[in-house]
A and B are shown apart, each in its own frame.
Chain A
């Protein structure tokens, strides 16, 4: 189609034209190209409109608000970079960020390792009923809404919950405690919920990656005398490197911007020990009514996620190319 709209371009080379004509020709060309693009633009316009209204506009507005002192209703005052300076100097605002980085262990590292191993085992099981069942069981947490998962785990980890009942049953009564209400265990307990949710996603990604491995590779490895572990390290792992990268990126992002699970299970308590940036933004915006400070933290969180994720992204890309 594009070719029929501008036949002249291919026929005459611009150098044959006198210089005065070139400019007018170019202008005509540009107008033609614009006309050529208009139907396309008309087609994307509705989507573009919604994207601009509901993604770009809030994004720009957040950046804009972060330079103001504003309560969300009344008049606002320009404060320049003050909100960002406070982010770097107020220990109360740094604590949540430290917590978010600790959550990476539970939301990302544990589920990825567990997901790879689970996928490798399930793959070995082939098309058996056991494989189907374990795949379903492991993926189920992904289907359950995070709010429901949070409530369920709150019950499990309550002082009279299933977890403590089990520990008492096997004689570990000394370990029982209110897992989500203890300063030392609250953050790991919240992390366990996140790990449980994310394992399914990691496993599914790995399984998808493993299905594209040529079975001949395994046969060759076996002929060379490789055991199951060697096979896993030398054949499976290199082949799923890209999926591994995707899994790590998605789960790291989920750790840094976590909100739902923590909001439901601990609301940041006890004593701020599970406070994360997402929750802090919510409290700042809706309870303290410091829209400017909340926006600044939101912008910083977005930047932080990008800073952490972009190098990860590059790492997996270059590895897969080499």
Chain B
């Protein structure tokens, strides 16, 4: 072998890899146009399906499959779907279930790339702005949803700038839930609490009594990325100041701020509970399911939670759980509660939007459906004020949460959740700040200042 042949062979060997690399590179660079297209108006994603022109919205007579993507762990959707299949045998539900966190991260892609008809929605203003959700106004007019109390659907309206509270309707609730304070009746009796406190001061007294009795007053979840102290914080805000201001902030209205005097007082009240040791000392590592198991197991006198657990509590500790709203500053004074529809939307790419809308209307109006909503879901059904309500055992916690819902309604005290203002305000702002407050590394005023700064950055960016 001469030197020449050696080099020839060497370059020959080099040629194949370089060719191979070229091929790979060409494949790799094939996607070099801007992701998702440029910001030209015609490029924006718009749905392909619309409500049928006839205006007669119902399920077709032939066999139909409704594709649904719902939250796992809550049987309400599956039970409603089964009853609907009973009444309309030609309709079948194809249900996919995931945890809420998974739905949150998958929502845009699922709505954009599949023909899912009905989907459980996370914070929805981005989804609506991106054109992924169907505008339901036509259905609302046809089915008469616009005759219901407007507060029920207010949170599901998104305007052209992505602000909620007004504009076209992009979602519908299976029910609307409500939050407050659950208590263990047996433990409450031990500390001398025979009926729910009428004022915040009285409630402070019971918390102290529980502490003095050697019980854990509140084992509230506040670990990981889920700051559960946001529940009592927001309820306190509604006792100190007007709930409508909090809603404006959540709906991203111009000039809204969370850093107000009354909110600082509310946050300071929460901080005083932390300092007094009313919360379990490991709440920064407690998750939601641990909180529920401790409460059901009698290891926590109170928890701040929502009526989506009412049905569960009536099964797990029948007659043993009670419920009250966060008490007002003075007896009979102003109070409020987080109250939100269990939001479902219809995809802009839905294959059977009319049938999906018909199902959502059926959930709110059919007597069997409303019974399932109350008994399985534990929350108040959507729909007109005077609609059918099933009989409930007055001793059950479900009855107490439904009664509390009426009080909130009278007080105009219903608010969306402060965690829903923007997609990341909860995980990136409320949660770390609340955890720091528990650890004594953040003050009440400092927290609201920090959250407000993040909020402005997020809605500005």
Contacts and interface: CB of A to CB of B under 8 A. Distances in A.
A74 B45 contact: yes
B459 interface: no
Contacts of B109: 72-73
Interface string B17-51: 00110011101111110111111100111000000
Contact of B424 (A78, A288, A291): A288
User: Secondary structure of the A side of the interface?
Assistant: helix
Interface in A35-83: 36-37, 40-41, 44-45, 48-49, 51-53, 56-57, 59-61, 64-65, 68, 70-78
Interface residues of A, number: 61
Contact of B432 (A44, A68, A272): A272
B441 interface: yes
B395 interface: no
A126 interface: no
Given A181-B286, A269-B432, A271-B436, A37 B34 contact: no
A130 B28 CA distance: 52
Interface in B268-284: 280-284
Nearest to A279: B225
Contacts of B442: 271
A268 interface: yes
B38 A266 contact: no
B431 A72 contact: no
A183 B285 CA distance: 11
A43 B272 CA distance: 71
A36 B433 contact: no
Contact of A68 (B35, B281, B283, B427): B35
A13 B2 contact: yes
A68 B34 contact: yes
Nearest to A7: B5
A289 B126 contact: yes
Given A9-B5, A48-B24, A65 B433 contact: no
Contacts of A41: 16, 19-20
Contact of A44 (B20, B34, B280): B20
A219 interface: no
A131 to B, nearest CB: 38
Interface of B: 1-2, 4-5, 8-9, 11-13, 15-16, 19-20, 23-25, 27-32, 34-40, 43-45, 104-105, 108-109, 112, 126, 130-132, 223-225, 280-286, 423-424, 427-428, 431-433, 435-436, 438-439, 441-442
15 contacts: A33-B8, A40-B16, A52-B28, A57-B28, A72-B109, A73-B45, A73-B130, A76-B37, A178-B286, A181-B284, A270-B432, A271-B433, A271-B436, A287-B428, A288-B424
